Amino acid sequence: MGTKIVDAAVIVVSSAMVAIALTAGGLGTYAFAAGAGDTVISKGAPDLTAVRAKIKAKNYKAAIDDLNKIAETTQHADVYNLLGFSFRKSGDMTSGATFYAKALDVDPNHKGALEYQGEMYVELGQLDNAKANLSKLVKLCPRGCEEREDLEKAIAREARKKK
């Protein structure tokens, strides 16, 4: 009986140490992404929890309003990426494209922006551009990552439609 308690304590302490190591190592923390899963939040990102909740609820106009206020004082790839996503999902591809470009100007390796911009390219029928984004994600995630997998699926779905 005492051994089980000790084993459980070791697991809890080990999990806490991993979480501290990841955060201290600059790898960021995990949180719900705008689209459909967990993603690493970029270092130095503002708290976008409330905005992500609005996006999850598909309240893109409110998210855009909040993000525009944040963008007045904060130039961060996560903010621009979520603005791009919200505009795209609202049907404004031009503004979406503008903010994805801004996100990638701030951080050319921003996996979320590469994925979402690539998905926008798929929606616009620009598969060559989408594949270029996928190529960048393959280099950034040689062993795979959610962003790479999601863009691969979007491109594959579009390719099947064209057959």
Give the pLDDT confidence of 27-82 residue by residue, as tens digits. 333 233 444 333 456 777 899 999 999 999 999 999 999 999 999 999 999 999 99
Predicted TM-score of the model (pTM): 0.75
* Mean pLDDT of the 110-136 span: 98
Residues 47 and 5 grouped into a single domain: no
Residues 52 and 25 grouped into a single domain: no
31: CB partners within 8 A, 6+ apart:
38, 39, 41, 49, 52
Residues 11 and 89 grouped into a single domain: no
Give the Å distances, CA to CA, from 148 to 63, 75, 95, 115, 119: 25, 25, 23, 7, 11
Q: How many domains does the chain have?
A: 2
Place of tokens 């976008």: 48
Residues 23 and 67 grouped into a single domain: no
Residues 126 and 142 grouped into a single domain: yes
Residues 44 and 82 grouped into a single domain: yes
- CATH value at residue 153: 1.25.40.10
Q: How far apart are the first and last CA of the chain?
A: 62
Residues 43 and 14 grouped into a single domain: no
Sign of CA dihedral 148, 154, 155, 156: positive
Residues 25 and 48 grouped into a single domain: no
Each residue of 12-22: pLDDT tens digit?
A: 333 333 333 33
Buried b (16+ CB within 10 A) or exposed e, 34-55: bbeeebbbbeebeebeebbebb
pLDDT > 80? residue 84: yes
Residues 10 and 88 grouped into a single domain: no
Mean pLDDT rounded to a whole number for the chain: 81
Residues 25 and 66 grouped into a single domain: no
Instruction: Give the residue numbers spanning the domain of 9.
Output: 1-29
Q: For the chain, how big is the Rg over CA atoms in Å?
A: 18
Residues 117 and 56 grouped into a single domain: yes
Residues 18 and 89 grouped into a single domain: no
